[in-house]
Amino acid sequence: MSILIAEEELPEELAVEDAVELAYAAALAEIAGDLVRGLPVLVECDKDLAPYLFVNLRNRTRQADVRCLYLDGRPREGDTAPGMPMDFISMIVQQLRTAVRGAVERRVVVLPHLDLMTTSQGALTAEARECIALLYENPELVWLGFKDPSFPLPKVIENLFPHRYSLLGAPRERLRYLVTQKEARKFGRGLNPWALYKHVSGMNAARLRKLLATIEGEDYPANDRGVIRQIRQTTARGSLEVPTLDLDADIGGYAKVKKRLRSEILEVLAIKDEQTEPDKIRRLEELLPRGMIFWGPPGTGKTLFAKAMATAIGAAITVVSGPELKSKWVGESEENLRQIFHQARQSAPAVIVFDELDSFASARGTYAGSGVEHSMVNQLLTEMDGFRKEELVFVVGTTNFAEILDPALLRPGRFEFHLHIPYPDADDRREILQIYDQKMDLQFSSEALEYAVRRTGEFVEGATQGTRFSGDHINALCRALARNRLRGGATGASEKADVERALTEWIERPKMTPHEERVVATHEAGHAICGLFTPHSAAIERISILADTAGALGYVKHQDPAHRYVVTQGRLLDDLCVLMGGREAEQLLLNDLSIGSAGDLQRATNIARALVEEFGMGGDLVGLGQVITENREVQRLYSEAQLAAIDTEVRRVLEDARRRAADILKENQALLETLRDLLLEHKVLDAKTLGTVLPDFNLAPTADDSPATASS
């Protein structure tokens, strides 16, 4: 069965009242039947739909000789005494009091403003307390209440209504009856109501009719983009916006991330949009995850990917900060969540992004705050469980700490799609830089571009120790470079020196004396020489004594090792030798020691203890009494003799590494002094410069993303 509707099958004219009847005929018949049988009914719907529903229900119940009384707060003759005006709420209470205590026959009393009986936090107002007593006072009355979906009702009021109906949006199967022939011509030849539903799923029938009546444009256009744009401008509500961010043109690199996002989300949606058979569309809708976790380090573009996904599917997006949702008032945090989901459903297709999701959705039982987080997680789960398969509303949670999220959120059916967005690698950084090159007219020379790729593979200078370059850091670098070019009036290409200036111009470095520089240069040269003469050490890429890494006056940067996942005993022993190299170089050339080797000694001790105690690589000490419990905790069951043996073996391993480093440096003292003098002269030595003086050694030909060996 095709879902395309010929123009002649559509109505020529359609009033709003008739559209409401066509859209909700089955539900309205059930509601009227309940009312006639004397059953109270609660209808959840938008405010602007309630009057049309009431008129329809009034006409239906009238046929069964059941009267309706509509309490809308408008003054009627006899409601108030002369000269005593009443406010809106007081008028509703007065009308309710008259209806309850003056009734002599069974009738339906309609309450269109039930939400006004509560405060914004869901607590009862003074008027609400009187209303509740009145609602339960006269059993002869049949209540018909209308509930706004964006406001909660107190349980004591909801319990009055055993029968509840939710009329949110318009049913997809009825959409074909809500478009006239004139309006259908604006979409092209043959109306596809299922494709149209994607953009109006959150609109009730009354609002939809008013929107379609205002559409402008030519008949039978080549495509419907102009009409859809008009619809999106109307449906995007509140804080939602329709982004224009291209996944490829505006986001550089991350080929694997893009491929997964396309294959699991975007391509499934594209295939669904091409289908013309309802059963196939429904099957494809079952495949789509509605909740997603984008996780990774700060600044890597998690929100950017969410916006690009929204652009690709033509969705509106709202970005909500987790901490901003919290409120000190009871119930207001949950209401904030309800409002966000309600707006998103009305603006579908939509994407809700909860930035810093872990700020309120960490594992329950781990909260250290007021406990409102528990209620917020429950409310979030309730809202997500209420999704209809046919409405395109996606929820994206971004976090730097996916491991601390509540497990209930991560199960299938909720946040089941997890997308890792790591720090950019060299290829990613190159593409990101090229995008900013075009946007900011930086005119990178080929050499400057590759230099920027290499430099952004290191730690961020002047930042917290261990901070890697993210997409945001690269953006900041390019903006700094653009500002420098603007101030200097540059018109030519950006060169290496320009990149280095943008990276380091405003970094506050320690002002070392010549003697201090000599100590640091000696220390780093010692690390480097030991690295050159140990076979398992990775290639050297850069040596610096500029104090441009947080917490260190100098560093030696190596490439990542060829084998990242299998670590051998030989590699660990070489690492120990390199760590000892800085200290031993100071002892050899300066006949003194600085406190700069403290960090090296701590790392070396940790490696040696792990090598002996955990990996069983220290002499005969294998299987020393470690027990892994069911909670994956390590318990050490050692005797005093075993502990003494472990300490002795750790000391032996460290002493062997120290002696090995000392021997390498003594045998190559001339090379050590040459490298130290080069560092004092140039401050920074990259692999290319090192290659001119050390042509036969293991030096990195290109950049990688390995961390530096920082010291001093």
3-state secondary structure 145-158: EEECCCCCCCHHHH
Q: Is the Cβ–Cβ distance between 464 and 471 less than 8 Å?
A: no
Continuous segment of H or E residues that includes residue 352: strand 350-355
Mean pLDDT of 9-31: 93
Mean pLDDT of 417-435: 93
CA 80 from centroid of its chain's CA atoms: 55
Is residue 241 predicted with pLDDT exceeding 70? yes
**pLDDT tens across 254-309, in order?**
999 999 999 999 999 999 888 878 888 888 888 888 889 999 999 999 999 999 99
CATH label, 255-418, candidates 3.40.50.300, 3.20.10.10, 3.40.50.1390, 3.30.70.520: 3.40.50.300
**pLDDT tens across 43-83, in order?**
999 999 999 999 999 999 999 888 888 888 777 655 554 44
* Of 632 and 157, the one with more pLDDT: 157
Is residue 697 predicted with pLDDT exceeding 70? no
Catalytic residue among 383, 458, 524, 586: 524
Mean pLDDT of 111-136: 74
b (16+ CB within 10 A) / e for 332-350: bbbbbbbbbbbbbbbbbbb
Highest mean predicted confidence (pLDDT) among 396-405, 468-477, 616-625: 468-477
CA distance 534 to 557: 15
Mean pLDDT of 375-401: 82
CA distance 699 to 690: 8
Specify the fold of 16-166: Rossmann fold (3.40.50)
Superfamily covering domain 514-711:
Peptidase M41 (1.20.58.760)
* Of 152 and 243, the one with more pLDDT: 243
Identify the pLDDT of residue 1. 54
Beta partners for residue 419, in sequence order: 294
Q: How far is CA 430 from CA 424, 475, 479, 582, 703, in A?
A: 9, 12, 16, 34, 12
Percent of the chain at pLDDT exceeding 90: 38
- Across the chain, what does the average pLDDT equal? 84
Catalytic annotation on 524?
yes
**pLDDT tens across 124-150, in order?**
777 778 888 888 888 888 999 998 887
**pLDDT tens across 483-535, in order?**
999 998 888 889 988 998 898 888 777 788 899 999 999 999 999 999 999 99
Highest mean predicted confidence (pLDDT) among 18-32, 131-145, 284-298, 677-691: 18-32
Contacts of 595 (CB under 8 A, 6+ apart): none
CA-closest candidate to residue 121, choices 339, 370, 382, 362 = 339
Which CATH number does 426-504 carry? 1.10.8.60
